[in-house]
């Protein structure tokens, strides 16, 4: 607020200084006009009175143009008043004295006025472009921020209602950016229809993010609900004779002034944080209001990102290996690699805390790359001991498996370490196919051609339909721990697990159950002919050296 007032004050002072200097040049002009027989010297340079008058006219015009450049609104008014007044007085002088000597000055003043109008109009258009989103024509972040600052200065209560289009990336990936732009323009039109002077102002922040500034008496929750309902309808676009319908869904977050923050940047940030919490699915209405707990979680997430970046550069991460066993013979099948983070002071950061944070950024790609390279390097000794008869499994994020070039990255890592591809298993989740199905299937197919096994993790809890799974080149199904936890007491869970095992075998896949913690669970899975198990019942995650010793015992 102080910055805003200081800038306004500085502009006013600058314009007044230019205006006073222009007046000084007027008085100098009057003096020169009454002493036309004089010569004016500057060093060795001699100027006639008429030449000096031309310089003074140009300086007056320059002061007026500078006023416009300082502030095209106030400066234009002051400059036109000044130059218009000068023109009138010069014209009256011609009429009264019959002296045409000031005629060039009149032409100069008129040209200056025309220049002032052209320059001020250009600045006005540039100013409008600076606060307008080029694609949708709505206000951009700067335009909305200017509105917020003005409203805060006026002590008006208002709400920032943030909107984010769900899975907008899939529209660009599957249909192309052309249709992504169509969707954004359609959303903008629907928001524009809901704009109401003095109570609702809308704009586009960036990408698939929009915002509205809502003043009382408009209820922000009711407004957000209407927007979600209106945008949540199919948008039809006709292209080359084909009707293409794009279905959209939206999340919304709300932050309020002065309750939540007293400046524009925090209001935008906190409403965005509220959107993230709405995406977590805790509210069926898809609308979330900001609170201080969210702020604490947000700053913890920032801290986690910092820790992860530092850990990647300083190598604070390490791997542990959870053994997997054949259920009938208890023979070692191999290991699932699990990442751990230990800071220099000994503080452990749980994967349950840092993995969800990095999955929302490109950091997850770096984590995946780190695990892949380190696991292949370390596990090479394990497979050599066991004569290539064990499997090492690596988890890969949905973002990575759905990225072009992932299969080539794995191939390069195998070649660099000499690790046998038939002893590598890549674990993906069902959600991988919701990110970018075509690229995911392409990567999986390439990996299978290299001889790498593919495991579908958390099966039975995700998004993939059975018809999709049946046509995927999957070699192993992993039954999620949540389905095993109560298998001893819940007949429905037992039947469901039995069905998954049956489907896996029907698809020529092996089946492993994770999270097995009791002998009773183990016996039930054995009765249902599950192939492999992993869990505390037979083995907790092991440090690398301990896992290597287990391989030595297995090799004997």
| pLDDT tens string 425-467 | 999 987 777 666 788 889 999 999 999 999 998 775 655 556 6
Q: What percent of the chain has pLDDT over 90?
A: 40
Split at pLDDT 50, 70, 90, the class of 4 is very low
pLDDT value at residue 3: 37
317-346 pLDDT, tens digit per residue, is: 999 999 999 999 999 999 999 999 999 999
The whole-angstrom separation of Cα 257 and Cα 517 is 51
- Segment 376-385 shows an average pLDDT of 95
Residue 258 token pair: 């002065």
- How far is it, in rounded angstroms, from Cα 20 to Cα 9? 17
Q: Which residues, 6 or more positions from 155, have their beta carbon under 8 angstroms from its beta carbon?
A: none
Q: How many Cβ atoms from other residues are within 10 Å of residue 308's Cβ?
A: 23
The pLDDT assigned to 116 comes to 83
Q: What is the pTM of this model?
A: 0.63
What integer is the mean pLDDT of 150-162? 91
Q: How far is CA 352 from CA 359, 440, 550, in A?
A: 11, 25, 27
DSSP SS3 for 324? strand
Q: What is the pLDDT of residue 417?
A: 95
Residue 548 has pLDDT above 70, yes or no: yes
Q: Is the pLDDT of residue 517 over 80?
A: yes
User: What is the CA angle 212-213-215, rounded to 5?
Assistant: 135
Helix then strand count (H, E) for the chain reads 21, 18
pLDDT computed for residue 435 by the predictor? 60
Hey, what are 356's tokens? Answer: 């969800």
Q: Encode pLDDT of 498-516 as tens digits.
A: 988 998 898 889 999 999 9
**pLDDT beyond 50 at 6:** no
Give the pLDDT confidence of 181-230 residue by residue, as tens digits. Answer: 878 888 888 888 888 878 999 999 988 889 999 998 899 999 999 988 88
Q: Which residue has the higher pLDDT, 235 or 510?
A: 510
Q: Which long-range contacts (CB under 8 A, 24 or more apart) does 415-419 make?
A: 416/373, 416/376, 417/373, 417/376, 417/377, 417/380, 418/380, 419/376, 419/379, 419/380, 419/383
What domains are there in the chain, each with its CATH number? 2-130 (no CATH), 141-290 (3.30.70.270), 300-555 (3.20.20.450)
Q: Of 376, 374, 338, which Cα lies nearest the Cα of 354?
A: 338
CA 411 – CA 204 distance, rounded (Å) = 42
Task: Please tell me the least confidently modeled range out of 282-286, 301-305, 332-336.
Answer: 282-286
**Residue 486 CA, distance from chain mean position:** 39
- Residue 5 — very low, low, confident or very high, per pLDDT cuts 50/70/90? very low
145, 180, 190, 206, 398 from 176: Cα distances, Å: 31, 7, 22, 18, 20
- Output the average pLDDT for the chain: 84
Compute the average pLDDT of residues 72-83. Answer: 81
Higher pLDDT, 330 or 42: 330
- Mean pLDDT computed over 351-371: 90
Report, as an integer, the average pLDDT of 63-81: 83
Contact (Cβ atoms closer than 8 angstroms) between residue 521 and residue 537: yes
């Amino acid at each position: 607020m102080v910055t805003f007032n200081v800038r306004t004050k500085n502009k006013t002072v600058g314009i007044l200084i230019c205006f006073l200097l222009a007046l000084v040049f007027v008085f100098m002009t009057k003096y020169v006009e009454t002493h036309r027989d004089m010569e004016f010297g500057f060093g060795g340079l001699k100027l006639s009175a008429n030449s000096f008058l031309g310089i003074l006219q140009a300086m007056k015009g320059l002061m007026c143009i500078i006023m416009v450049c300082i502030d095209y609104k106030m400066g234009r008014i002051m400059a036109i008043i000044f130059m218009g007044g000068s023109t009138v007085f010069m014209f009256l002088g011609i009429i009264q004295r019959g002296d045409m000597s000031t005629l060039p000055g009149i032409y100069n003043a008129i040209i200056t006025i025309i220049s002032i109008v052209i320059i001020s109009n250009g600045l006005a258009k540039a100013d409008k472009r600076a606060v307008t989103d080029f694609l949708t024509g709505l206000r951009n972040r700067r335009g909305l921020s200017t509105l917020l600052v003005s409203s805060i200065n006026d002590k008006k209560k208002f709400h920032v209602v943030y909107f984010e289009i769900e899975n907008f990336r899939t529209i660009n990936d599957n249909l192309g950016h052309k249709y992504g732009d169509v969707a954004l323009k359609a959303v903008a039109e629907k928001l524009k229809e809901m704009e109401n002077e003095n109570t609702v102002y809308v704009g586009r922040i960036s990408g698939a993010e929009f915002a509205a500034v809502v003043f009382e008496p408009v209820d922000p929750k009711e407004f957000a609900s209407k927007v979600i309902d209106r945008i949540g309808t199919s948008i039809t676009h006709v292209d080359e004779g084909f009707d293409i319908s794009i279905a959209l869904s939206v999340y919304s977050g709300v932050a309020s002034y002065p309750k939540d923050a007293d400046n524009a940047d925090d209001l935008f940030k906190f409403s965005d944080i509220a959107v993230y919490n709405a995406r977590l699915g805790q509210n069926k209405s898809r609308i979330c209001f900001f609170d201080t707990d969210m702020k604490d979680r947000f700053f913890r997430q920032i801290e986690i990102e910092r820790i992860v970046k530092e850990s990647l550069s300083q190598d604070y991460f390490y791997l542990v290996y959870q053994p997997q066993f054949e259920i009938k013979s208890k023979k070692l099948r191999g290991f699932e690699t699990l990442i751990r983070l230990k800071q220099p002071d000994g503080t452990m950061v749980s994967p349950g805390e840092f993995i969800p944070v990095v999955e929302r950024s490109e950091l997850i790609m770096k984590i995946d790359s780190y695990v892949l390279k380190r696991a292949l390097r370390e596990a090479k000794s394990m497979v050599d001991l066991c004569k290539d008869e064990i499997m090492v499994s690596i988890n890969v994020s949905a973002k990575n498996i759905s990225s072009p070039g992932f299969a080539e990255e794995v191939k390069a890592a195998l070649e660099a370490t000499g690790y046998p591809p038939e002893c590598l298993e890549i674990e993906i989740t069902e959600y991988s196919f919701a990110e970018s199905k075509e690229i995911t299937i392409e990567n999986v197919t390439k990996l299978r051609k290299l001889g790498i096994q593919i495991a579908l993790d958390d099966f039975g809890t995700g998004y993939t339909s059975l018809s999709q799974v049946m046509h995927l080149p999957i070699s192993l199904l992993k039954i999620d721990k949540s389905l095993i936890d109560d298998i001893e007491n819940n007949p429905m869970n037992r039947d469901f697990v039995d069905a998954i095992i049956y489907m896996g075998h029907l698809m020529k896949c092996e089946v492993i159950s994770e999270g097995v913690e009791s002998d009773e669970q183990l016996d039930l899975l054995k009765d249902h002919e599950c192939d492999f198990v992993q869990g505390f019942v037979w083995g907790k995650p092991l440090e690398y050296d301990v896992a290597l010793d287990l391989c030595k015992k297995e090799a004997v």
